[in-house]
């Protein structure tokens, strides 16, 4: 069809008007809000927005829910509540963490959806090497009102039902926090939160390798106005929230603020008779060895009780040539349902030292689990700086940095506050888009973590025959 001059003018005018209207539209409860990533944070964000009365939320994910690559799609996660509330005289980092943890613990304790999934069984904070122990000791001794020293292997053993910690625990030193910490049923709470967010139709989840996988963001006049999915469909929105976890930096340039980092996990089968004994264990976490957690109720009910086990190490990365920046490498996630042999061996050593009666069991479904580290390990929850003078309509929520599950409720609240321009100024400053903290970033920085080889390891350097697939014996 050929357009006459006037028709063309009106056509262009209409496009410009619609575009300007979209860019300038104020936030309303009916505004269209697109969340990219239906993982731990995306689900929590959708839930919070629904609770605040928003009615037009679409969440996209590249996998059926819950995504097999979501860091939260897991039996369980550790939860530590804040030791103190935020205080005005704290430094910005401590203030931000105390605020985040306070918001989260309020939800875990009181929200009827979350509370049943929290097991406040206690937390054993331990270490073996001198370096790791000095960190644990300093932190625990600063709060004698919270942590009690465990003097010797017997003191460790008495924290759990008889017959659980039967290992010699050689070299283990630690403290116990009996209240305000424990573990949560991870996948199950994601399912609950998803059900709650979608029940009245205010939020729709499109979780599909084609229809849900965001291939690129949609730009108009240099402004993000939604996203395009792998099936070619466009999803326009008044506001777009990028919450794609370790995959977020494949969609926009985070200027090195995110480092996709992988940790390793597997599962140790228990018998039905053993399940009650292992069902409500305190968390035994050695910062340089690893940890294991009790089976969630759903796994016990399904007749598949398992301990989840993680070895502790500074993390694995996967460096590839950066296509856009010459002579630079960038870390990207790579999925594998296998783990480096070294990690498997360390998990077996952890079992041998603590629960040797389980050490000859196969390690089931070993896998890499990807999170994204910011340089200071504080979350990145901010409006993207954008390219125009108007406030950007792209919000980012990324950088779980190993603590993003227990704090997912706070992420939902903070993102909603940010969207509503109500985020506390001090928090906005701490959580801001902060590429200046990532200049010349050393991708191999251990960021205060211990264990394994003591180094961040590039997965590309691990030969194929050094990978272990389940069941690992």
Q: Which residues bind ligand FAD (CB under 6 A)?
A: 36-42, 60-63, 67, 69-72, 77-78, 212-214, 243-247, 251, 263, 265, 310, 369, 371, 398, 400, 402-406
193 HSE (CA, 13 A, CB side):
32
SS3 state of residue 286 = strand
Nearer to ligand FAD, 61 or 238 (CB): 61
Give the Cα separation of 236 and 241 in Å (integer). 12
DSSP H helices, 302-369, are: 341-354
Smallest distance, ligand FAD to C-beta of residue 308, A: 9
Smallest distance, ligand FAD to C-beta of residue 251, A: 6
164-186 burial by CB neighbour count: b if 16+ within 10 A, else e? bbebebeebbbbbbbebbbbbbb
Query: Measured between alpha carbons, how far is residue 309 from residues 163, 360, 368 in Å?
Result: 18, 14, 12
Smallest distance, ligand FAD to C-beta of residue 47, A: 12
Upstream peptide bond of 471 is cis (omega within 30 degrees of 0):
yes
Smallest distance, ligand FAD to C-beta of residue 401, A: 7
SS3 state of residue 175 = strand
Number of helical H runs and strand E runs in the chain: 11, 26
In sequence order, what are the beta bridge partners of 311?
290
Written as six digits, the tokens of 407 are 């704090």
Smallest distance, ligand FAD to C-beta of residue 403, A: 5
Kindly calculate the radius of gyration of the chain based on its CA atoms and give it in whole angstroms.
23
Give the Cα separation of 37 and 66 in Å (integer). 10
Nearer to ligand FAD, 150 or 206 (CB): 206
- The 10 Å Cβ neighbour count of residue 1 is 3
Give the Cα separation of 317 and 343 in Å (integer). 14
Smallest distance, ligand FAD to C-beta of residue 334, A: 13
- The 10 Å Cβ neighbour count of residue 161 is 14
Smallest distance, ligand FAD to C-beta of residue 153, A: 25
Residues contacting 146, CB < 8 A, separation 6+: 83, 140, 177, 180
Smallest distance, ligand FAD to C-beta of residue 84, A: 19
Smallest distance, ligand FAD to C-beta of residue 419, A: 17
Smallest distance, ligand FAD to C-beta of residue 290, A: 10
Nearer to ligand FAD, 185 or 238 (CB): 185
With CA atoms as reference, report the closest residue to 442 among 317, 327, 356: 317
Nearer to ligand FAD, 155 or 251 (CB): 251
Residue nearest ligand FAD, CB atom distance: 39
Give the Cα separation of 123 and 281 in Å (integer). 9
CB 340 within 8 A of CB 466: yes
Give the Cα separation of 119 and 280 in Å (integer). 7
Q: What is the DSSP letter of 1?
A: -
With CA atoms as reference, report the closest residue to 239 among 32, 28, 58: 32
Give the Cα separation of 190 and 45 in Å (integer). 11
Smallest distance, ligand FAD to C-beta of residue 394, A: 14
Nearer to ligand FAD, 69 or 275 (CB): 69
Nearer to ligand FAD, 32 or 62 (CB): 62
Smallest distance, ligand FAD to C-beta of residue 429, A: 21
Nearer to ligand FAD, 157 or 194 (CB): 194
Nearer to ligand FAD, 39 or 451 (CB): 39
Give the Cα separation of 36 and 252 in Å (integer). 12
The sheet with strand 234-236 has its strands ordered as: 214-220, 223-229, 234-236
Nearer to ligand FAD, 252 or 279 (CB): 252
């Amino acid at each position: 069809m050929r357009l006459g001059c006037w028709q063309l003018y009106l056509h262009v005018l209409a496009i410009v008007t619609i575009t300007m209207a979209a860019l300038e539209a104020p936030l309303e409860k009916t505004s269209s809000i697109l969340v990219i990533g239906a993982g731990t944070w995306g689900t929590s964000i959708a839930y919070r927005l629904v609770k605040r009365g928003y009615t037009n939320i679409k969440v996209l994910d590249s996998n059926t829910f819950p995504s097999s690559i979501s860091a939260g799609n897991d039996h369980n996660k550790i939860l530590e509540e804040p030791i103190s509330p935020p205080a005005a005289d704290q430094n910005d980092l401590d203030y931000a963490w105390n605020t985040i943890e306070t918001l989260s613990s309020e939800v875990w304790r009181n929200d009827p959806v979350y509370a049943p999934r929290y097991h406040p069984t206690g937390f054993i904070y331990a270490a073996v090497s001198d370096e790791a122990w000095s960190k644990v000791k300093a932190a625990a001794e600063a709060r004698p009102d919270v942590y009690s020293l465990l003097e010797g292997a017997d003191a460790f053993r008495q924290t759990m039902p008889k017959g659980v910690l039967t290992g010699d625990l050689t070299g283990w030193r630690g403290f116990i926090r009996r209240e305000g910490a424990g573990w949560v049923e991870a996948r199950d709470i994601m399912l609950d939160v998803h059900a709650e967010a979608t029940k009245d139709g205010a939020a729709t989840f499109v979780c599909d390798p084609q229809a849900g996988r965001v291939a690129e963001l949609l730009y108009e006049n240099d402004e993000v106005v939604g996203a395009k999915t792998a099936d070619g469909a466009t999803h326009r929105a008044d506001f777009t929230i990028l919450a794609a976890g370790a995959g977020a930096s494949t969609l926009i340039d985070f200027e090195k603020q995110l480092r996709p980092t992988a940790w390793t996990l597997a599962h140790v089968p228990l018998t039905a008779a053993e399940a009650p004994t292992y069902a409500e264990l305190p968390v035994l976490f050695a910062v340089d060895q690893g940890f294991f957690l009790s089976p969630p109720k759903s796994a016990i009910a399904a007749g598949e009780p398992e301990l989840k086990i993680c070895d502790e190490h500074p993390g694995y990365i996967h460096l590839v040539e950066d296509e856009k920046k010459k002579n630079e490498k960038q870390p990207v996630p790579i999925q594998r349902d296998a783990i480096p042999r070294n990690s498997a061996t360390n998990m077996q050593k952890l079992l041998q030292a603590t629960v040797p009666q389980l050490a000859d069991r196969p390690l089931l479904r070993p896998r890499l689990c990807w999170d994204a580290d910011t340089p200071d390990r504080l979350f990145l929850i901010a409006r993207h700086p954008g390219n125009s003078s108007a406030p950007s309509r792209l919000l980012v929520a990324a950088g779980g940095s190993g603590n993003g599950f227990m704090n997912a409720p706070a992420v939902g609240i903070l993102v909603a506050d940010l969207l509503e321009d109500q985020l506390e100024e001090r928090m906005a400053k701490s959580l801001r888009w902060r590429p200046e903290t990532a200049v010349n970033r050393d991708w191999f920085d251990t960021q205060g973590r211990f264990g394994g080889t003591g180094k961040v390891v590039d997965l590309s350097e691990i030969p194929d025959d050094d990978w272990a697939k389940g069941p690992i014996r």
